[in-house]
Chain A
Amino acid sequence: MATVAPPARTPLSRVSRDIIGALWEPDWRYRTMILVLLAILGWAGFAWVYQIKTGMGTAGITHPVMWGVYITNFVFWVGIAHSGTLISAILYLLRSGWRTTINRAAEAMTIFAVMTAGLFPLIHLGRVWYFYFLAPYPNQRLLWPNFRSPLIWDFFAISTYFTISLLFWYSGLIPDLATIRDRMKRLSGRMARFKERVYGALALGWHGSDSQWKNYRRAYLYMAAIATPLVLSVHSVVSWDFAMAITPGWHSTIFAPYFVAGAIFSGIAMVITLSVPFRWALGLEDYITEYHYDNMGKLLLLTSLIVGYAYTAEYFMAWFSGDQVEWESFVWRATGDYAGPFIVMVTCNVLIPLLCFARKIRRNIRAMFVISIFVNIGMWYERFVIIVSSLAHEYIPGAWGLYTPSWVELSITVGSFAWFLLWFMLFAKALPAISITEVKESITEGVWSPGDKKEGA
C-alpha cells in the first residue's frame, strides 16, 4: 500500500500529513491486536450463544438479584458514551478551542460505546429472540409497548442519542473525508482508486466552497445545539430505570443529575485512558498534549466532586428521610457483603481524583492515565454497587440473597471491551482520528498549534 507523504511546506500541510499519515499500513502490532480482540470477541460470542441455548441461569443473576453485571455494563457503557457529545457539542458551543484534537476520537468513542451498551439489554433478555416485542411495530395483536416502562424510555433515549451522535460525528468528518479523497487523487493504483471512490462517496461531494462552508458551519452549530440536551437526557433516562422503581437504594430523585455527572466523569476518564496509548501509537504526541490533559483533568475533578456530593447526599437523604428500610439498605451497602465494591467505588471516584487539584499532576500524562484507569474501575463498581447491593437487600428480609457473577457474565463483560476496542482500532486506521479541519482552524485563528503545551497567545 502506498504511503502518503504530504510535502512539509507549511504547518497546515504538516497537519494533514501527520493526521492522514497515521491512517495507512497497519503494522504487525496492530494486526496482532486485532486478532487478539477478535479471539476475545469470539469467546464472548460463544458464551452468549451458550447462555441463549441453556438459559439465563448460566449467568450469576438469581433471585432476588435479577440484574447484575449485564446492566452494570449497560450503564457503564452508556456513561462512557457521554463525554463524546459533551466534548464535541457543549465545548463547541462554549468555544473551547482545546477540544479540537480530541473531539473526533471522543465522538467515535461515544458511538462505539453506545453500540456496546446497546448490546447489553439484548444479552440480558431472558428470551432475546423476542427482542422486537420492545419495539413499537404494527402487529396483529394490536399491542404496543408499555410507554409507562422506563425500559421503553431507554429504548428511545438510547436510539435517539445514537442517531444524533452518529450524524454529528459524520458531519464533522465530511471536510476531512474530502481531504482524504483529494489526497487519493494524487496516488495511482487500484487501491487508491477504490479509496478515492469510497471516501469520495462519504464526502458527499464536498469541495470546500464558501457557500458549502457557510451552510456547513451553520448546520454543525445547530447539530451541536440539538445534541447538547441529549447529554443530559440520555443518562437521566437511564437513571430512571432505577429511580422509577421502588427498590430501596434506587428510588431517589437525585438519580438523574447524579447519573449525568457520573456519566461525564466516566466518559472523560475513558477519553484520557484511550487517548494516551492512541497519541503514542499514531505518533500524535504534538496534537494531544499536557494542555489537553490539564483541561480534561479539571473536568474530571469537577465531575468527581459532583459525584462525591451525590454519594453524600444519598446517605444524608436516606438518614434524613427516617425511612428505616432505605437507611438499613444504605448502611448495608457500605458494611455488608458488598462493602468491598463500595470501598473501591468511593476510593476511585472520590478520593483518587482529588489529586487533580494539583496542576502538576494534571499536566503529568502518566499520572492522568493512571488516575483515569482508577476512575474507570470506580465507575464500573459504582453501577455494580447501586444495582446489586440494592437488589440483594430489599424490603423482605426473608428474601435477601447474594449475587456473584458467573464465567459467562465475565466473558461477555471482557468481550464488550474487546468489541469496543475493535471498533476503535478500526476507526483509528480508517478515519482521521483528529479533526484536520478544526486543527487547521485553531492554528489559523491562533488559538493553538501542534506542539503547544499551553494556550496560545
Chain B
Amino acid sequence: MSEIKRRDFLKILGLSGAGTGLVGCTQEPAKKLIPYLVQPEEIIPGIPSWYASVCGECPAGCGVHVKVREGRPIKVEGNPEHPVNAGRLCSRGQAALQGLYDPDRITGPLRRVEGSEEFQAISWQDAEALLVERIQALRQSGRSDRLYLFSDSSVSSLDRLFDLWLGAIGSANRIIYDSFDVEPLREANRLTFGLAEIPRYQIDEADLVLSFGAGFLETWITPVQYTRLFASSQRYQAGRKGRFIHIGPRVSLTGTNSDEWVSARPGAAMLLALAMTRVLVAEGRAGARGAAIRPLVEPYTPERVAEATGVDAETIVRLAQEFAAAPSCLALPPGVELADRNAAAAHVAVNLLNYAAGNIGRTVRFGPNVLRRRPASLDRLAVVAEAMRSGAVQIALIHGIDPVHTLPPALGFADALENVGLLVSFASHMDETAARADLILPDHTPLERWSDHQPETAVHGLMQPTVNPVFDTKATGDVLLSVAGQIGGDLAAGLTWPTYLDYLRDSWGAVHRDFAPFQSFDEFWREALARGGVWREAAAQPVTLNPAVSGVAFDDSTLDGGAAEPLTLLTYASPNLYDGRGANKAWLQELPDPVTKVVWNSWLEIHPDLADQLGVRNGDLVTVSSPAGRLDAPVYVYRGIRPDTVAIPIGQGHVHYGRSASGRGVNPLTLLSAATDRASGGRAWLSTRVSLAATGASVRLVEAQGSADDHGREVAEAITLAAAAEADRHAIEALAQNPDALVEASEDADPKSPYRWGMAVDLSSCVGCSACVTACYAENNIPVVGEARCAEGREMAWLRIERYYEQAHGDTGHGPEHGNPSHEGNGSAGSLHVVHLPVMCQHCGNAPCEPVCPVYATYHNPEGLNIQVYNRCVGTRYCSNNCPYKARRFEWFDFEFPFPLNLQLNPDVTVRQKGVMEKCTFCVQRIMKARSDANALGRDVADGEVVPACAQTCPADAIVFGNLRDPDSRVSQLSRSGRAYHVLGELNTRPAVTYLKEVVRGTEEA
C-alpha cells in the first residue's frame, strides 16, 4: 500500500477536477495542435499565401486569387488586375472551393465491374495500362479513328494537347462540346460582317441598352465582366444613368434590372429588331448605312410585325426612336435561352439594328474577341451517336463535360454511349457521364492543376496548383503524356514532354515571344504565374457590312408541338447552377435563385393568370408535356413571364453527381428535341411548345423570402431619374456648405476611436446576382443546412438578397410605365420593376439587439461595430426578436462540414457551436488584419484597406465599406448622397449601412 503524498494528491485533484469540468461541458475538448516540426520557408502559420489562377467554373475565364492558409485553399477572390473580371467573381466562382472539397469527389481511378453498375478502385498504373492496351489494340487493327475525344470549348494548351495527341494516335475524331454555345451569334457575325467572331459588347459605353433577352448578367458569355460594364453605365452617377430596356417573354435576373420590360412573344426578337431597324432607316436615322440595308428590312413595318411579336407598332416605333436618339446605344441579341431554330437570323437582325445605329466599332467592338472553339453541332453529335450505336466508336475519352446531363435525351447520345467499347471519363466528380464510364481517370479540379485559358484574343490566363491534390487524382494532360510514352513509337516521339507542366511551359513559348520577347522565359513565366497570366488590349478589327447578308432568310422559326400544346417552353440556364455543373455545390444549391428565391429545387414558372386557369399555386405539381417527353414540376407563379410562355431552369435533375445534386429537381432537357439553329448548327433552346396538366399533387417548394412586396414600408426604395437628380442637387448644395460633414451614424462609436465602420449599398448598381452571399458563406464558415432545414426557415446566410416588386416614386409625371405588374396580359407594355436589396446586419448605432441581451453577448464596440460574442451567448434569441432587420441567425444544430469540406473553413473565423446567435460581422477579421497592419506602420487604416468579402466580390461594385469618421472615404461620400436612406430609419436604430435608392430612368428622361 502506498501512501499518497501531498503533491500527488493535488495532481489527482487537479486532474479529476479538469475531468469533471470536461464531462460537464458539452463542448468538445480542445484537441492537440501540432506545429510544423520543420517549417517550410514559404509558409508562415497564420499568414495566408495568395496564388493567382484562372476560374474553371465556366468558359468566361475570370482571373482569380486563391487564398491559401497552411496549405489549404480557403477562399477564392477575383484577380484585380485581370481584364475579364477586374477582381470580381460570381457566386459560381466563389463556390469553386466546394468543387475542390466536394465530399463526393472521385477519390482515385475507378474501373467498372463487368456487367454491373458498381465501380472498383484500381491503381493509376493499372488504369493507364488498361487504356494503353486498348489503344494499342485499336492501332494494331488500323482503326485509330475509332478513338473519339470529347472536351469543352475553351481555348487552352490542354485543348491543343488533345489535338496533338489525337493526331499522333491517328484519329480525327475530336468532338468539342459546349452546352451553351453561342454559334448563332458567331454565324450571324460572319453573315453580317464576314467575321465569325464573338465581339466585345461595350455595355459600359452605351447610354441605352436594348436587350432582346441575352442573360448577360447571369451566364451569357462572360457575365462577371458584363455585370461590371453594365453597372458602370447603368448606375446612377452625377444626375445621369443609362437606360436598359429588356425585351422578351420573361423577366430574367438580367431583366429585373431593366428600366422597362417590353413583353414580347418568345422568338419575336428577329421581327422586332428588323422592324426597329426599318424605323431607323425609314426616318433617315441610319444615315448612309441605311441604304445598304434598306432592302433587307423594308418589308418589316412595325404594323406588320405587331401581331406576330405581341408588341404594338407604337411601342416598336417609340423604342426605335429612343434607340436612335440615345447618345450611344447598344442592342444585345437574344442570347442562348431564346435561341430558336432561326437564331442566327435573329442575331443578324440585331446586328443590323446595331449597324443602322452606328454601333459597330463603338459599342460592338471586334478585335478583343471572346475565344471559344467551335463546338460540334447537335447534328454532328447525332452522327457520332449513330456511330457509337453501330459500334464504330471503340474508345471514347470524355474530359470536362457532361453530355449525358446536358444533351436532350431525344438525341439518344446517352444510350449510344452504352455501345462504346471503352468509355473513359476524366471527370473529377461522378457526373451522369462518368457514371456510365468503363474507366474513370479523375482529373484534378481547376484549383489543383497546371493549366491555362485564353478567354479573349489577347488574354492568356495561367492556372497553377494551389494545393496538393486532395485525392488520388492525376492531371489529364499527364495521363495523356504518360499513355503516349507507354505506347511508345511515333506517338511518344511527337509528345516528348515528361510532364504536362513541361508541355505547358513549352506551349507558352509562343505567348512569351508575343508578349515579352526580350525577357528570359523563366522570368516571363515567373511573372506570368504571379500575375495570373499575361494580357493586353487587343487591336480593333474594323468590319464592314458583308454583302452576303442580303441572302439571309428571315423566316419564322418553328416550334415542336401542335394545337394540343398551347404554351411555349423557355428553358434557361440557372444563374446559380449554370448547365448543372454547379449542382454538386451545396453553397449554390442553398443560394436562393435571384429571381424566384427558390432553393434546392427546380420549378415551372407560370403567369398568375395561367395559374388561376389551372387552379394551381406555388408548389403544386404540374405535368409538362411536349412532343419529346414529359415531366412533373412544381409551379412557381411569376408575374414576370408572359401568359403564353412557361419557363424551367436548367441545372437540376441529376441522378448522380454527389449528395447535393442527385435526385433533386427536374432536367427540362427531357422536353426538348435535338433542335438546332438552321444556319449555324448551334443549339435551339427555344424549340418546343408544351401543354400543362395539374396533377393534384404538390411538393414543398422552398422559397427563402417571405413577402415579395414591401407593403409600402419603404424597405426597398426606387425613384425616378428626375427625383434622384433633384435629391442629388440638394445633397451637393448641402455638402458644398459643409464639406467635412459626417453622416449621423459616424457618431456612434467611442469618441476617441478614429473609426466608425460603415457600409453603403447602391441599389442602382446592385443587379441581385448574389455573388456576395456565396462569398460570405466562404469567408465566414457559414454552414449549409439543406432543403428540409431551409423549409423550416433555418438557413444561415448572414447576408441575404431580398427581391421586391417595387414602383418607382418620383415627382415627375413622366415616370416609367409601371402599371399594375400582375395583370398586363399580352400587352406589349408589360412591366415589372424589381429592387434587389442586400440585407445584412446594419451595425446600428442604437441597436435594438444590444440592450435586450441579458449576458452582454452582443454589444457595441469602440469602433461602432455591433459585436456578437459567441462564447458569452447563452441563446435566449431575444436579440433576434428585437432586430427589425431580422439579420441574425441562430445555430439550431451543430451543423456539419463533411470531410473534406471542413478543410475549407477559414481559421480566422470561429466555427459556431449549436445554441449561439450569429450574424454579419462586417468581416471583423479583415478589419483586425488591416488595423494590425496599419498599426505596424504607425498609421491609421486608410480608405479601401478593409474590404469585406461581399464588397470584394461584388461584380457591380454596389457595396462599399469604410470609415464613416473620414469625411473623404468613399463610404462617407456615398452615405451623404441625395439618394441615401436607411431601411426602417424611422425606428431610430441609426444603422451604419446606408442604402442608395434604386433609380429608374423612364422613357422621356435623359
Chain A interface (Cβ within 8 Å of chain B)? 52, 54-57, 60-64, 66-67, 121, 124-131, 133-134, 143, 145-146, 148-152, 155, 241, 244-247, 324-325, 328, 391, 394-401
Contact = CB atoms under 8 A, between A and B. Distances in A.
Nearest to B707: A397
* Top 4 A-B residue pairs of the complex, sorted by shortest distance between their CB atoms: A126-B875, A57-B892, A400-B706, A126-B915
A427 to B, nearest CB: 31
B11 interface: no
Given A124-B876, A126-B877, A246 B882 contact: yes
Nearest to A328: B711
Contacts of B917: 126
Contacts of B715: 395-398
A453 B881 CA distance: 50
Nearest to B801: A398
B885 A133 contact: no
A169 to B, nearest CB: 29
Interface in B472-491: none
B706 A126 contact: no
30 contacts: A55-B915, A56-B890, A57-B892, A57-B893, A63-B794, A67-B881, A125-B874, A126-B877, A126-B890, A126-B914, A126-B916, A127-B913, A127-B916, A129-B25, A133-B855, A146-B854, A149-B851, A149-B854, A152-B854, A241-B878, A246-B848, A246-B884, A247-B881, A328-B711, A395-B885, A396-B713, A397-B706, A397-B711, A399-B705, A399-B839
B852 A245 contact: yes
Q: Count chain A CB atoms within 10 A of each CB in B881, B885, B916 and give the residue with the most.
A: B881
B894 interface: yes
A397 B709 contact: yes
B269 interface: no
Contacts of B851: 146, 148-149, 244
Interface string B699-719: 000000111111111010000
A182 B874 CA distance: 50
A133 B857 CA distance: 10
Contacts of B710: 397-398
B312 interface: no
B837 A398 contact: yes
A54 B854 contact: no
Contacts of A66: 877, 880-881, 890
Contacts of B884: 246, 394-396
Contacts of B795: 63
Contacts of A324: 711-713
A131 B874 contact: yes
Contacts of A152: 854
A125 B875 CA distance: 5
Interface in B862-876: 872-876
Contacts of A247: 881-882
B856 interface: yes
B881 A245 contact: yes
Interface string B777-794: 000000000000100111
B711 A127 contact: no
B883 to A, nearest CB: 9
Q: Max chain A CB contacts within 10 Å: which of B26, B854, B877? A: B854
B915 A399 contact: no
A391 B856 CA distance: 22
Contacts of B872: 133, 143
A165 to B, nearest CB: 23
Contacts, number: 176
B889 interface: yes
A55 B880 contact: no
B609 interface: no
Given A396-B839, A396-B885, A62 B706 contact: no
Contact of A57 (B794, B804, B856): B794
A151 B878 contact: yes
Nearest to A406: B792
Contacts of A61: 877
Contact of A55 (B793, B878, B893): B893
A398 B705 contact: yes
Given A134-B854, A143-B856, A155-B854, A55 B713 contact: no
A126 B25 CA distance: 14
A133 B874 CA distance: 7
A402 to B, nearest CB: 8
B793 A62 contact: yes
A56 B878 contact: no
B881 A54 contact: no
A146 B856 contact: yes
Q: Is the interface of B mostly helix, strand, loop or mixed?
A: loop
B510 interface: no
Given A55-B915, A145-B855, A397-B715, 18 more contacts: A52-B26, A55-B891, A56-B914, A57-B789, A66-B877, A124-B876, A124-B877, A125-B874, A125-B875, A126-B874, A133-B855, A134-B854, A151-B852, A151-B876, A324-B713, A394-B886, A398-B803, A400-B707
B605 interface: no
A396 B711 contact: no
A396 B890 contact: no
Contacts of B915: 55-56, 125-128
Nearest to B712: A324
Contacts of B325: none
B877 A67 contact: yes
A134 B800 CA distance: 32
Most A C-beta atoms less than 10 A away, residue of B855, B880, B889, B914? B855
Contacts of B115: none
Contacts of B891: 55, 126
A71 to B, nearest CB: 9
Contacts of A57: 789, 792, 794, 892-893
A130 B915 CA distance: 10
A398 B853 contact: no
B998 interface: no
B697 interface: no
Interface in B333-388: none
A129 B875 CA distance: 11
A26 B885 CA distance: 57
Given A146-B853, A398-B707, A130 B874 contact: yes
B854 A151 contact: yes
A397 B713 CA distance: 9
Nearest to A390: B881
A398 B802 contact: yes
B893 A145 contact: no
Given A133-B855, A396-B886, A64 B893 contact: no
Given A56-B875, A127-B875, A246-B848, A63 B712 contact: no
A130 B871 CA distance: 10
Nearest to A60: B792
Contacts of A56: 875, 890, 892, 914-915
Interface in B690-743: 705-713, 715
A325 B710 CA distance: 11
A247 to B, nearest CB: 6
B24 interface: yes
A121 B874 CA distance: 11
B782 to A, nearest CB: 14
B855 A396 contact: no
A246 B883 CA distance: 8
Contacts of B792: 57, 60, 62
Contacts of A128: 874, 915
A404 to B, nearest CB: 9
B893 to A, nearest CB: 4
A245 to B, nearest CB: 5
Contacts of A398: 705-708, 710, 715, 800, 802-804, 837, 839
Interface string B189-215: 000000000000000000000000000
Contact of B893 (A54, A131, A397): A54
A399 B804 CA distance: 12
Contacts of A401: 706, 793
A400 B792 CA distance: 12
